[in-house]
Structure 1
């Protein structure tokens, strides 16, 4: 299947009409089209020139999610969401090319991290990001290898932005009876007893230790064009919409764009993953269109 390698990005195309774009900056997926219709949100105000993090698509969070609450944590000096999304990754080529799917790979090592950020977390590591496009699915995986002389701890997350026609029509199912930490209220942890999540205010929740891998995301497209999110080796889910006030304070994000997006983000962020010397860890997500 066609894979176009351009100066700043890679474009994947499927015979079904599906396509995807991945920027070398952050290994960020910025577009996924199913039946030639865009499915991911990308802010009209974001920058794609490597001057700041991309707001939209699927940015990769590593090795820190929020600011570390413990000042003695190894990642305490890093900014929110770490450095993977603001580093330029290396093109590693096509790993699968068949009639049904195509996979491309990107690599990031500590040597490629901006020096100011590298000094804040001076570990030796290797990340491999693989993006796989099929007719009705988009799969993103990340592999982390510890190439340091000591073990290290990290968070990781796929910060996935979905494009929605109307935020008031969004419904997210699969997180009922799961405890979440409410970042807007700064806690406490709360058990979600609702059958589904709807958005009518600022929402920023970390669902902790989600027992099921699948989440159903009804984006308001009617009977077709919604999603099943399947996660791989990631125990938490984050649900986020900045709503009115926060949207106005955010750079690289339009004041009214909260109406057109919702983030449902699989990761391991409520606690750290410990990786010993020479070990490898991997996780990921598959987004499946419901025809």
Structure 2
């Protein structure tokens, strides 16, 4: 599937825009009304069948990272999705994409399911909703995340507010820890090679601030939040990232990791991540 044939462009009446790819059910770009690009997309992404796109908002399903026997982050981000709906309303624009189980997915994960990703833009708000329905006759279990790559101009100037008091798993140190204050990112001598799962965030609002720019993150249905940046050394080992790419992005991801979703036969689960640009640069 070529990039051109799988590309979807959303445009709301107020000028907000987004670009999506049916490859992976992937949000590639988000430009709020009157504001520049807010997501980071690696210029080295391959956009090839079976390959994950680096940047934007990959869908991790039915496994987060390497926490299980499936390919890293599962299979949803590397498979072709179908477009279910695309429309422009009076104040917004919406696209809905769907992924259903197939022989290929059942060979890896023996469950019948339907996954839908809804992306709605309008003004300075982005809503991403992920829904999973168990179409089989037995319970299923999964972990998931919306792996959002936020574009930044100066990593040294970035902070993440709202995580104080939460416990997290530090995947670099392989240890549990407590976040005692707001997370301050410093790209040279401070927090590098950042890979943390914060547990029990639930609907607690988060604020990513960079100088005057502020982006609010709100979650529903997701218990956890991942904060990730590869740092210069690990970034240099990623073939689909430029060496300096780590300094231009920060992942803040709505996730369900600590307690996997348990979905009985015939039941559905829905999670939402909302981003709002409160103050542009």
TM-score, scaled relative to structure 2: 0.92
CA deviations on 1:231-262 (whole Å, 9 max, x unpaired) are: 01101000000001110111211111101000
- Flag structure 1 segments of 5+ consecutive residues without an equivalent: 1-5, 69-75
Give the RMSD, CA atoms, in angstroms: 1.5
Contact 1:174-1:212 at 8 Å conserved across structures: no
Cα deviation code 1:194-224 (max 9, x no counterpart) = 2333243111000011154310001x2x33x
1:164·1:261 contact (CA, 8 Å) conserved in 2?
yes
Instruction: Kindly report structure 1 stretches of 4+ aligned residues shifted beyond 4 Å.
Output: none
Matched, 1:86 2:78: yes
Distance in 2 (alpha carbons) for counterparts of 1:36 and 1:183: 34
Secondary structure (helix, strand or coil) at the match of 1:249 reads coil
Counterparts of 1:78 and 1:32, CA distance in 2 = 30
Structure 2 unaligned regions, length at least 5: none
The structural deviation recorded for 1:51 is 4.5
After superposition, give the CA deviation of every residue in 1:3-57 in whole Å (9 maximum; x if it has no partner): xxx6211100123221000100111100001225111000111112334100100
Indicate the residue corresponding to 2:184 in structure 1: 197
1:11 is aligned to 2:2:
no
The question of whether the paired residues in 1 share the 8 Å contact of 2:130 and 2:272 is answered with yes
CA distance in 1, matches of 2:99, 2:202: 31
Seen in structure 2, the aligned counterparts of structure 1 residues 178 and 161 have a Cα distance that, compared at 3 Å, is: same
Asked whether the equivalents of residues 17 and 36 of structure 1 are also in contact (C-alpha less than 8 Å), the reply is: no
Number of aligned positions between the proteins: 271
Instruction: Name 1:259's counterpart in structure 2.
Output: 247
- TM-score normalised by the chain length of structure 1: 0.89
- 1:127 and 2:115 equivalent? yes
Q: Report Cα offsets for 1:244-285 as digits up to 9, x if no partner.
A: 111011121111110100000011012211000000010010
